[in-house]
Amino acid sequence: MDALAEDWRNGGFGLYIHWPFCQAKCPYCDFNSHVVCQIDQARWKAAYIQEIDRFAEETPGRILNTMFFGGGTPSLMDPDVVGAIIEKVRQSWPTSNDFEITLEANPSSVEAARFAAYRDAGVNRVSVGVQALNNNDLKRLGRLHSKDEAIKAIEIAKKSFERVSFDLMYGRQDQSAASWSSELTWAIDLAADHLSLYQLTIEDGTAFGDRYKIGRLRGLPDEDLSVHLFEITQEICDKAGLHAYEVSNHAKSDAESRHNLIYWKYGDYIGIGPGAHGRLTLNGNRFATETFKSPFQWLSQVEGGQMESRTVLSLADQAAEYLMMSLRLTEGISINRYNKMTGQKLDSHQIDFLRSENLINIDQDRLCTTDRGRLVLNSVIETLMPSLELFDNSQLTT
């Protein structure tokens, strides 16, 4: 086995389960989430279990580090479905000692009432979608829960699980720096040891996206305010010891989301469920896997025994993906790993330029962004991203 076949070990091995249903569609959300009146939970359970079987056969004996129920709204899953899946997973792979099982939950009272059952089913970490800590903004974001419900849900979560995180979105309509800073300070008081803090992004194909295009989504921050909000966020979190370990994720040390770290460290992960993506190294090839996006198409495809689509990732693809994912981390990338993985060196002119502009730092093997560089991360990545031509003649055979 050569270096490439083993590269994924630098990131680990995880399993992502996508649950594609929600109570209502939020106007900013472009996730693969759907609102339906009825869900045949047993049928879905069977499909997930069948898929786990199939992937397990291809990766026998691999140690699984994490699993993650994401959505959509996985807190709409019956706890026994969650339980059956977890049990199946434990039978299918050896798991690491610190095996992490996260479930994304919405903070309505109904869902919070199920937290204990999820814990009993084996979930050991929740990520609660709080989004805002005031009712006016929650309403504008189309959320179904209130501020009080959210606070209660966090409390219940902290009692039920060893590890709890919650999500907030900022850069909302008409949000001032002062109001965000007090909201965030309060959130830190409520938080355990992990927070995800996302700047609201207006995505194409969402209700917000449509309104934005016709100029009817007002009060969004301009670039300066947006930068300011990001900087405040870093400051407040740093003071509270919740350092950013990724662009939008903050944690006390050792409290990071281990599952998400697999993505950012460019490890292997299986993606099961409608529209789920995976990265899987098999026989020295790294595949990108992608399932059918439509929930019912996915279901019948699985039931019909059909496989998801797989694309071999070229060295150029992997190089770009590694940069794209790992530069999001505060710790950055390993230069050595990059060189080994791609058989190419990073462009030294570009590195010199980025350093001279104080956009990146290099400390021995690690290359990471500076605070300034992180704010323009996409441009930094693009600058470092190798031209495809570089790879054309040098595609290593594995």
Ligand X SMILES: C[S@@+](CC[C@H](N)C(=O)[O-])C[C@H]1O[C@@H](n2cnc3c(N)ncnc32)[C@H](O)[C@@H]1O
* Beta carbon nearer to ligand SF4, 115 or 322: 115
Tell me how far, at minimum, the Cβ of 106 lies from ligand SF4, in Å. Answer: 6
Shortest gap between Cβ of 80 and other proteins (angstroms)? 26
The reply on whether position 71 binds ligand SF4 by CB under 6 A is yes
Query: Which residue in the set 71, 83, 122, 271 belongs to the binding site for other proteins (CB under 8 A)?
Result: 271
345: alpha, beta or left? (left if phi > 0; alpha if psi -120 to 50): beta
Find the shortest distance in angstroms from Cβ 235 to ligand X: 20
| Torsion of the alpha carbons at 227, 349, 368 and 196, rounded to the nearest 10 | 40
Contacts with other proteins, 10-29, as mask; x by CB under 8 A: ------x-x-----------
Shortest Å distance, C-beta 256 to ligand X: 17
Placement of tokens 């899987």 in the chain:
280
Compute the half-sphere exposure of residue 34: CA atoms within 13 Å on the CB side of its CA.
14
Which residues face 168 on adjacent strands?
A: 131, 197
For other proteins, the closer of residues 216 and 349 by Cβ is 349
Examine residue 230 and tell whether it contacts other proteins (CB under 8 A).
Answer: yes
Binding pattern for the stretch 116-155 against other proteins, x by CB under 8 A and - elsewhere: ----------------------------------------
Q: Collect contacts of 230-238 with beta carbons under 8 A, ≥24 apart.
A: 230/199, 230/375, 232/177, 232/180, 232/181, 232/184, 233/170, 233/180, 233/184, 233/197, 234/371, 236/181, 236/184, 236/185, 236/188, 237/184, 237/188, 237/195, 237/197
Tokens of 38: 């009825």
Candidate list 105, 191, 315, 380; residue touching other proteins; CB under 8 A: 380
Residues between 126 and 165 that touch ligand SF4 (CB under 6 A): 129
**Strand 366-369 to 285-290 pairing:** unpaired
Taking the complex as a whole, the smallest distance from the CB of residue 374 to other proteins amounts, in Å, to 7
d(CA 140, CA 271): 32
What are the angstrom distances between the C-alpha of 253 and each of 167, 199, 231, 247, 259? 18, 23, 21, 16, 15
115: partner contacted, choices ligand SF4, other proteins, ligand X, none (Cβ within 5-8 A by kind): none
Q: How near is the Cβ of 16 to ligand SF4 at its closest, in Å?
A: 14
- What's the number of CA atoms in the CB half-sphere (13 Å) around residue 289? 21
* Span between the terminal Cα atoms of the chain, in Å: 9
**25 contact choice in ligand X, ligand SF4, other proteins, none (CB below 5 to 8 Å, kind-dependent):** ligand SF4
122 binding partner (options ligand SF4, ligand X, other proteins, none; Cβ < 5 to 8 Å by kind): none
Cβ proximity to ligand X: between 55 and 68 the closer is 68
| Spatial distance between the Cα atoms of 31 and 72, rounded to a whole number of angstroms | 7
Q: Which lies closer to ligand X via its Cβ, residue 203 or residue 290?
A: 203
Whole-number Cα distances in Å, 33 to 4, 20, 71, 138, 198: 35, 5, 7, 19, 19
* Residue 73 C-beta: closest distance to ligand SF4, Å: 5
In the list 95, 106, 165, 233, the residue contacting ligand SF4 (rule: CB under 6 A) is 106
Q: Which residues make up the interface to ligand X (CB under 6 A)?
A: 28-29, 31, 70-71, 73, 104, 106, 129, 131, 167, 169, 198, 200-201, 203
Would you say 18 or 45 has its CB closer to other proteins? 18
Handedness of CA 300, 263, 187, 117 (dihedral sign): positive
72 preceded by a cis bond (ω within 30 of 0):
yes
Q: Does 31 bind ligand SF4 (CB under 6 A)?
A: yes
Q: Angle between the 79-92 and 41-58 helix axes, to the nearest 10 degrees? A: 10
For residue 277, the partner it binds in ligand X, ligand SF4, other proteins, none, with Cβ less than 5 to 8 A by kind, is: other proteins
Q: Which residues bind ligand SF4 (CB under 6 A)?
A: 22, 25-26, 29, 31, 33, 71-73, 106, 129
